[in-house]
């Protein structure tokens, strides 16, 4: 099936970024969320990103209008009947994702690939919520989507080779670099990244250093562009906690135990940049 229209379920930080990148690379986009306010917020985030690109003379004002014009807002999953390929980018919550995929399976045309931007949840399990498991695949973009080149492509147990290759080709068409990963908790990226972030939170919890000190050591000593605690704030501490819980449940090993301080911050609603406060104040 030729892919002309991409459906994106979820208009948050990741979903709006995926919608923007798809529209900038010649696709029509249907950006869906449960409320008009969430869709509007997604459009606002895309417009801000495009305005920055205009100021930097990366794109023209006319091009900005073209990109925004290629994205249609939606609050009904039934609108995904028009999509040739779907990317789910909802909150990192397994029950919610299973519910979305069941609805997408019913709404989407036969042969349409359903992909998930999940950062840790089993693609095999998500596929099991549909009648088309061979057409379900992981398409894990990195944050911020317009800037980061990597997309992890994850095959579930039932994912067909054709589905994998179509998704890989689509990532290339979106200007990204696809890297295959097998369906284990956290895949490659978060299996390595999240324990590092969690250990940085433990270092803070145990008083080894301040957030600034911990991040400075990793930036200057390990040449990381951003320290682990600032990165956690960017990702969202609730997402970090969710991924650590998936790793702990999936592997059953104590080394994946989320730091109590991470849990406490999430309980307090200190989720990072999106809430205005995390390990830093924004």
Q: What is the CATH number of domain 5-182?
A: 3.40.50.720
pLDDT at residue 1 in the model? 75
Cα 195 to chain centroid, rounded: 18
Q: Report the top-level CATH class of 191-275.
A: mainly alpha
Angle (nearest 5°) at CA 232 between 229 and 237: 120
Q: pLDDT truncated to tens, each residue of the chain (282 aa)?
A: 799 999 999 999 999 999 999 999 999 999 999 999 999 999 999 999 999 999 999 999 999 999 999 999 999 999 999 999 999 999 989 999 999 999 999 999 999 999 999 988 999 999 999 999 999 999 999 989 999 999 999 999 999 999 999 999 999 999 999 999 999 999 999 999 999 999 999 999 999 999 999 999 999 999 999 999 999 999 999 999 999 999 999 999 999 999 999 999 999 999 999 999 999 999
pLDDT at residue 109 in the model? 97
Residue 192 · residue 198 · CB < 8 Å? no
pLDDT at residue 196 in the model? 98
User: What phi and psi values does residue 144 have, to the nearest 5 degrees?
Assistant: -80, 135
Distance CA 70, CA 87 (A): 16
Residue 144 preceded by cis peptide, ω within 30: yes
Residue numbers annotated as active site: 119, 140, 152, 190
Distance CA 17, CA 273 (A): 16
pLDDT at residue 45 in the model? 97
Give per-residue pLDDT as tens, 231-244.
999 999 999 999 99
The domain limits of the chain are: 5-182, 191-275
Residue 16 · residue 90 · CB < 8 Å? no
Structure tokens at 273: 């940049």
Give per-residue pLDDT as tens, 16-44.
999 999 999 999 999 999 999 999 999 99
DSSP state of 92: S
Structure tokens at 30: 């249907």
């Amino acid at each position: 099936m030729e892919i002309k229209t991409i459906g994106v379920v979820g208009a948050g930080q990741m979903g709006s970024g995926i919608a923007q990148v798809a529209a900038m690379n010649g696709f029509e986009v249907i950006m869906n969320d449960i409320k008009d306010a969430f869709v509007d917020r997604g459009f606002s985030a895309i417009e801000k990103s495009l305005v920055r690109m205009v100021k930097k003379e990366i794109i023209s004002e006319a091009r900005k209008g073209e990109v925004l014009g290629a994205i249609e807002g939606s609050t009904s999953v039934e609108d995904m009947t028009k999509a040739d390929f779907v990317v789910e980018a909802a909150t990192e919550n397994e029950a919610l994702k299973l519910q979305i995929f069941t609805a997408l399976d019913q709404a989407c045309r036969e042969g349409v690939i359903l992909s998930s931007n999940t950062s840790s949840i089993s693609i095999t399990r998500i596929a099991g919520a549909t009648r088309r498991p061979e057409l379900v695949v992981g398409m894990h973009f990195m944050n911020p989507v317009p800037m980061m080149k990597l997309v992890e492509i994850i095959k579930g147990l039932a994912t067909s080779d054709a589905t994998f290759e179509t998704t890989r080709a689509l990532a290339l068409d979106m200007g990204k670099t696809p890297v295959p990963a097998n369906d284990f908790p956290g895949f490659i990226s978060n299996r390595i990244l999240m324990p590092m972030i969690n250990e940085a939170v433990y270092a803070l919890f145990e008083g080894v250093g301040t957030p600034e000190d911990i991040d400075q050591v990793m930036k200057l000593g390990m040449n990381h562009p951003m320290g682990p605690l600032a990165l956690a704030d960017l990702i969202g501490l609730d997402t970090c906690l969710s991924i650590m819980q998936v790793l702990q449940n999936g592997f059953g090993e104590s080394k994946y135990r989320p730091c109590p301080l991470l849990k406490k911050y999430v309980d307090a609603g200190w989720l990072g940049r999106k809430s205005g406060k995390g390990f830093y104040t924004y």
